A and B are shown apart, each in its own frame.
Chain A
Amino acid sequence: MTAQTAERDLSAVIGLEVHVQLETDTKIFCGCSTDAADDEVPNSRVCPTCLGLPGALPVLNEGAVEAGVKVGKAIDAEIPEETSFHRKNYYYPDLPKNFQITQYDAPICADGELAFRVDGEERTVNIRRAHLEEDPGSLQHAGGSIDTADYTLVDYNRAGTPLMEIVTEPDFRGADEVRAFLAKLEEVLEYLGVFDASRDGSLRVDANLSIVDSKTLDGDDISAALEDANRTEVKNISSHRGAQQALAYEETRQKNAVRRGREVEQETRHWDESRGITVSMRSKEEEKDYRYFREADLPPLRVSGWKEEIAIPELPDARRERFRGEYDLSAESASKLTSTKQVADFYETVAAEFDSDLAATWVADNLLGELNYRDMQVTDVEGRLDEFTRLIDLVDGEAITTKNAEEVVLRRMLDDGLAPDAVVEAEGLGKTDDNAVLAAVREAIEENPDAVDDYESGEEGALNFLVGQVMQATSGSADPGTVNERLRAELDE
């Protein structure tokens, strides 16, 4: 680093190790449930195996392997002929056996990629490998933060949850790209049904960041440049937003150091979300000799054929494209309607029965809007699909007004759990029949001669006044369009 560093053009080079919890019913090596619903009771969903009791043995969960293959398929990775498990040996209170069963030189997925959009551009990042491993337990630092605690409280409920560790090549050049990639990754994984973003701790990211001369990135092979540059590892990132903030901070911190001619330490740093900074964990640095060796309790897997056999659902990008074409939707609509696999599935069921535009309005605008407002998900109402289609039916067949349907019926359906017909009955929303409308129209004309005169001398606005009167008289259940027509008919004759 010379005095001229301030004039150099510097770039960040970032690689990620993303840990995602897989959505299986049971843990990866034992039959304990992965359902964390009762987890306020610590150490209540454990067994000899995930507790690391002497004599216990691991047995591999077939569901975890299936999930792994699905991920591999979705990122276009190779699934090798033979894949096996290794022990990563280190000591920490959250590790029941003081080794983690993971994969080392024979991971289940290798050489994949994921495309995503950032700043309107399409990017593809290479995924070096993805492998299966077990989650450790969780630690609480009694009496303070990680630095000041006297002792630790350990809960092994989480221990043994299946994880997939996805390792990218150092293909990222900035925090925004990282965020966009992670958002896309989460979307794909949710589409596969192997991931739940709303689950606490389901995503954990370790990022490696180096600062190099921008010029060195011109060629295809940047490994030489990376070898010379110091690299920090940033840990404790648990969301794609957090990743963006942490890496933006870290990039700035390192670039500032380089520009001032200071050495950037090769170290591990901890992302402190509450303070918005990364903190050096230098004191924790000690040589890491994991002494990897094959896990003899688990026979190897020969599952390359599963890639052909296991079906995966249509992935988000493909589905979005198809929606645009098949349902003639705008990019924005298509995007909203494929925001999650569950929304997309819901939409397609509705669109099968009604005009796709009507279905789009009802699902994307009305339903999702009301659900959002109530902090609900489409999965909360999936079982009431037939009630929802009945509602659209009522509107489509003009039995109730769109306004009432949107503002009264849908809301009561969600708030009170009533079926649409029940709400219509209770609120008296059935569209007034023709005779009743005609009667109300005639009455309004009779009772408002001034307005009639105004209309007949050319004031259109007076008609609106009359429409309002009719609507009032019918408690809003008449259809305004019909009222308008009727009034004109009566007045123009």
Chain B
Amino acid sequence: MSSDTDAFITREEIDPTDEGPLSGRTVAVKDNISTAGVPTTCGSAMLADYVPPYDATVVERLKDAGARIVGKTNMDEFGMGTTTETSAFGPTDNPAAPGRVPGGSSGGSAAAVAAGEADLALGSDTGGSVRCPAAFCGVVGIKPTYGLVSRYGLVAYANSLEQIGPIAPTVQGAAELLEVIAGPDERDATTREHGAETAYASAADGDVDGLTIGVPTELVEGADEAVVEQFEAALEDFRVQGAETVEVSLPSVETAVQAYYVIAMGEASSNLARFDGVRYGPTAAATDDAEAGNWNDAFAAVREGFGEEVKRRILLGTYALSAGYHDKYYDKAQDARAWVRRDFAEAFETADVIASPTMPVPPFELGESLDDPLQMYLADANTVPVNLANLPAISVPAGETAEGPVGLQLVGEAFDERTIIRAASAVE
């Protein structure tokens, strides 16, 4: 990796193809987003030498808008993690809290922006992977509504949950980047007609007079004291500016983490099945162990090269989808997902946006969290419900604790990014 900062896996400049709203600005791109001719590793040894022959749609849009891409950023392997420590290329330090993790899985992107190595960055968010690093690094991150931004070229981890999202030092910056990448794409059948003409940057006007902010107790109780303190202060700030806060209830979030992981792991086990060393992947040397076995042995030997977290999720996902367990895990998880959706819909009857701390804890120390996977999964409790419900959310900096920055998460109704952008801009 590079010498300056460990935020990047590959430092390589990609020129813009035209002039546009991002002319003169630099963008760091998470290493699971395909860049033609430039390595795209997903933080994995399985793709250490993989160079895509095509650009992701969002990369094309960046270039058309005048942006200069400055490199591919570090990430948890295949997006699986909350700290960027599962990367095969080593961890990334948090510029806003040295010695601590930058969050994950888009830790490199958030760190690059926080350290001023890039003006803007793109990350991907499957269960909080844009919002968490934004919160931990003290920058802004948006997870768009599912279907607003094309996933063509995003290496899939959990395809019914993930979106590519902007990371920037300010709400305005994130909104400007969102404007460039949003909008339907004929190469992604899950994109919607929204976003093609929408102005997001103009929504960052800080005007929250009359806004109703719903606060779900389930997402606040159980959070770290220091985090809650900053969160309450931010809510007070809102009230001073003319917004109203109300209590809402989201009982379904009790099972949101379970549902999220069952679905994400199930989809991952299928999305990562393609890594078998035939069309791309590790060279023959890795397959020498498969002594004269058949294709099953050869594939298994190649796939031994996944990191431990990835293996864990592939296995659990396979288990959750397998005969005999499919109904118990995968189908029930879909039921839970529908329940989460309904809960949010109900909550939005009384609130315009829903607020919570982005993460229930401040940034972990590097190395602290790796022994207990289940503990790590629980840290996603505040972010995963949003992906399950296919809604948009933004994380905006909401103060500092002794252990690093804290973020405030604002969730909006589907395709109502403008309202959460507006609300977030009032917190800055």
| A→B interface (CB under 8 Å) | 48, 51-60, 87, 89, 91-93, 96-99, 152, 154, 289, 291, 293, 296-299
Contacts and interface: CB of A to CB of B under 8 A. Distances in A.
A469 B126 CA distance: 95
Given A54-B40, A55-B155, A58-B189, 20 more contacts: A48-B52, A48-B53, A53-B54, A53-B279, A54-B280, A55-B32, A55-B34, A55-B52, A55-B151, A55-B152, A57-B151, A57-B189, A59-B186, A59-B189, A93-B295, A152-B295, A291-B326, A293-B266, A293-B267, A299-B190
B317 to A, nearest CB: 9
Given A51-B279, A54-B40, A297-B190, A89 B273 contact: yes
**Which bracket fits the contact residues of B?**
35 or more
B270 A54 contact: no
B156 interface: yes
B276 A54 contact: no
Contacts of B50: 54
Given A87-B270, A91-B295, A297-B159, A55 B153 contact: yes
B190 A293 contact: no
Interface in B209-243: none
A91 B296 contact: yes
Contact of A98 (B188, B273, B323): B273
Interface in B363-411: none
6 contacts: A48-B52, A55-B34, A91-B299, A98-B273, A297-B188, A297-B189
A298 B155 CA distance: 17
B274 interface: yes
B56 interface: yes
B322 A48 contact: no
A53 B40 CA distance: 12
A291 B50 CA distance: 29
Interface string B268-300: 011001101011100000000000000110010
A97 B159 CA distance: 14
A142 B160 CA distance: 39
A293 B155 CA distance: 19
A55 B156 contact: yes
B181 to A, nearest CB: 15
Q: Which among A51, A52, A60, A154 has the greatest number of chain B C-beta atoms within 10 A?
A: A52
B154 A291 contact: no
B318 interface: yes
Contacts of A51: 279
Contacts of B33: 55
Contact of B188 (A57, A89, A93): A57
Interface in B7-65: 32-34, 40, 42, 47, 50, 52-54, 56
Contacts of B89: none
A53 B280 contact: yes
Contacts of A56: 152-153
Interface string B245-276: 00000000000000000000011011001101
Contact of B270 (A53, A59, A89, A289): A89
Nearest to B267: A296
Contact of B274 (A58, A59, A98, A293): A98
B187 A57 contact: yes
Interface in B94-120: none
A55 B154 contact: yes
B330 interface: yes
B208 interface: no
Interface in B166-200: 186-190
B348 to A, nearest CB: 24
Contacts of A289: 322-323
Contacts of B323: 289, 291
Contacts of A291: 269-270, 318, 321-323, 326
Contacts of B321: 89, 291, 293
Nearest to A298: B189
B152 A57 contact: yes
Contact of B187 (A53, A59, A93): A59
A299 B40 contact: no
A93 B281 CA distance: 14
Contact of A55 (B56, B322, B326): B56
Nearest to B33: A55
Given A54-B40, A54-B42, A54-B47, A97 B52 contact: no
Nearest to B158: A296
B7 to A, nearest CB: 22
A375 B70 CA distance: 62
